Amino acid sequence: MPAQKDRWFPSFSFLLFCASFIPMLGSTSLLQELSPQEYFSSLQAGRASLAYFSHNVSPGAQPFLEQIENSVEALQDYGISVVKVNCPKEDVSRYCGKENALRKAYLFRGNMLIREFPTDALFDVNSIVANVLFALLFNEVKYVETLTDLQNIENALKGRSNMVFVYVPATGTAEHRAVMEVAFVYGTVHQFVLTTEATLLKDTGSDEPDASSARLLFCHCQQATDVAQPCRKTPLEQDLTVLNIHRHLKLMGAPLVTEVAEDPEKVSTVHLQLGLPLVFILSQKETYEADRRTAEFLAWQLLGKAGVALLSRDLVDLNVLLRSNVALKTPDEGVPIKYLVLEDTDEVITLVEDKSKVEQIQEDEDEEDEDEKENDNQDVQDDQVVEAVSRDKKRELPLEQILTLTEETFHSAMLKAAQTVVLFYASWEAVSLAVLQSYTEVADHLKGVQGVLLSRVNCWDWPGVCTTENVTQFPTIKIYKRGEQPLMYNGMLGTEELTSFIMLSRVSCPLKLMTIDEAEGYLRGELPTELSSYHHASVLGVFSTAMSKAREAFIEAGSILSGHVTMGMYFEDDALAFHFFRSRKYAVSPPALLLARSGDRSVEGIALSKESAQDIVQMIRYRLLDTFPEITVQNLPHYLQLRKPFLILFSDGDIGQLESKEMLKLAKGIPQQVFIPCWLNLKNTPVGHGVLKAYFATVPSLPVLVWVNLHAGGQVFKFPSEQSVTETNILSWLEKLKAGLEIPSSTLSEEDWKPPLPAYNFLQMMDTTAPEFTLRASYRHGDGQEQQQPEGSEEKATVREETPEEAGVKAEKVQSPGRDLRGTAPRLAGREKQAKRHSEL
């Protein structure tokens, strides 16, 4: 009901306004006739009055008196009285004595004369009301004749107030009156500036102004905090009437973007109340900042034509397609909100200006949906990454904290920070786009960390940089340190793993320790506080000065493992030190490794029998693995590299204390590297459901213990469900497996796990000259700065300079550049058809 009242309020105000202009039938004349003495004695301080002095009414003055009488009611609405002063014949005072004085009308405030008006300037009601209000509002409405005067007023208002600039071909017109009547109400809110000089209209930026038509511009000077910054200007595109001007100022005073946290059907804004549509930008928490910028950009384009609201999906449960990114609500009652999928803000503007486009866009989307369904039935997506990116293609990434590098800026950027992380990727490739999302999350985690700079290079735009840096696959992540060889990241591409790698790589690997106290502190995990949450284990190499070969191999191993583990090295010929390491506390003699896990007070001593770097790396990686690990998507590759059978306990949640105790006892009792005892929590790793279905066709009752050797035969054995999970029962069952007395539940296929379609041929695709890729090469930018175009390049000269964010979508969108919905960063998957199969590329 409140929303309905809001919709009726403007209509009711309009009726009252129009009623004020309907003359009262049968009413007597409102024009007062007084003697000079009566008139001057009736003047009140602060009250304005318009007076016409006359001895007798000549036939020539009769039309003027008729217009004066017609304007009485209009001026009374503003507290201005209109009086005809009848002068006696013998009166020779200032206002009655001279003949030329009788050809003027006088405006008083109290007993002070404000302005004299020639009667020929007050030729109708509009001119009377306009000129009288113009004289009274001399502070609220400034008149300017030169551009300098206009700029001085504009500069004085910047950062303080807004300005309403009006051009009228002549004063005293209906448009002039409308402006004055609105200024009477809004004069204390905005500064009004009036001119009759057509040249000023052109100087304000109007294209080919029509000097015969009045114009009004709302100048947003309050937002211009710098004198050099121009005021944005929003023109009134309707005729200058009181209602149109009032409506325009109401819209200019409304919030630029309205944030909505309720059902859009219940939302009512000033735009809807004034008969304009409301555009919703559908946002989510991860892309809020970019969506907010896009909404503000769009709101400026639609100012005065439609409202813009930012609607968070996280706060409102919308029963609409996830890919929908725009909603349109019209002021018409009973018309449902339209949810649409649009590419950029140009489409939104077109949608507002041409209502017929709504139905056309929805028809195109329906056809597109049908085509996608047919394609899905005919073939499969390349892989799950491509499919996931395709589903999330409308999502916008916040890339503000990641520096964009080009051929010109790459080498200089390597000198900006002690540690520069570079993501080499291809903007059209699915895995690159998925990793770019994780990369933005890493940037958010490392925000404020001193000495770390995150950057990116789009190898599709800058192949020369990627070739020079020996990038042979996408995506590739390298860390550059001053004076050192770049360090390549080969781990999981998730946010947590990559963040940990970047932070741990800041520490020298290995870290040289000079005293026993330093070595002891290192094994206790005494590292900088910012590394505490990323530190899981410490490896200390102990050598004598004579063990140069083993020491060099350990240093080389440190360079390989840098970022994955913290490594320290102690080498001295101090007899006391060697006795310390040989003591019962560590029981090792150089060369040896000491392994300390965070949270575990015990230190494991490992004799170093092999002195090659690869052997040391393999030994450290194996020793860092948990004794009885929980298998996850992230750590599975580490255990698969061991090429050993798996003894997996599948559970729907945490395993019981009894099973955990027995499995841990079994894991500690078996010889090293015979098989891998582990467990998998289906709640933490839902993909386990699919694994069990591949093993048994249906998911068995849980918990279930399974033996599988993926690297030899692929046979799957299920531990008898009637037996309890104890170390004794498991060892007995494993003996039967070894003797061939158990029948496998299933045998996995020996077929290699390959992608369903061939891999991309990157070099061939980059060498192929296609129209869309040729145009893309024309959009080259670095760090938001314009790049100089080669002389004589006609094609490049015709391409509009754009921001780096716009360049991310130009390969797919060869048309007039708009602004991407969901902010200014490249969309995750570009356009609708980006996620094509290889055969279609």
Three-state DSSP class for residue 811: coil
Instruction: Tell me what the mean pLDDT of segment 316-343 comes to.
Output: 81
Continuous segment of H or E residues that includes residue 753? none
How would you label 62-73 residue by residue, b for 16+ Cβ within 10 Å and e otherwise?
Answer: eebeebbebbbb
pLDDT in tens, 482-499: 878 888 888 888 888 888
pLDDT in tens, 165-219: 999 998 889 999 999 999 998 888 999 999 998 888 777 766 666 778 899 999 9
Alpha helices in 478-585 (DSSP H): 495-504, 516-523, 548-561, 575-582
> Which strands sit side by side in the sheet containing 278-283, from one edge to the other?
258-260, 307-312, 278-283, 326-329, 338-340
Check pLDDT > 80 for residue 462.
Answer: yes
Burial of 260 (0-12, 13-18, 19+ CB in 10 A): buried
The per-residue pLDDT for 793 is 39
pLDDT in tens, 366-408: 555 555 544 444 344 445 666 666 655 556 677 888 898 888 8
- pLDDT: which is higher, 296 or 22: 296
- Percent helix, strand, coil in the chain (nearest 5)? 35, 20, 45
733 confidence band (pLDDT: 50, 70, 90): very high
Neighbours of 258 (CB within 10 A): 19
308 confidence band (pLDDT: 50, 70, 90): very high
What rounded mean pLDDT belongs to the chain?
77
- pLDDT: which is higher, 679 or 14: 679
Instruction: Tell me what the mean pLDDT of segment 271-283 comes to.
Output: 88
Compute the distance between CA of residue 574 and CA of residue 570 in angstroms, rounded to an integer: 11
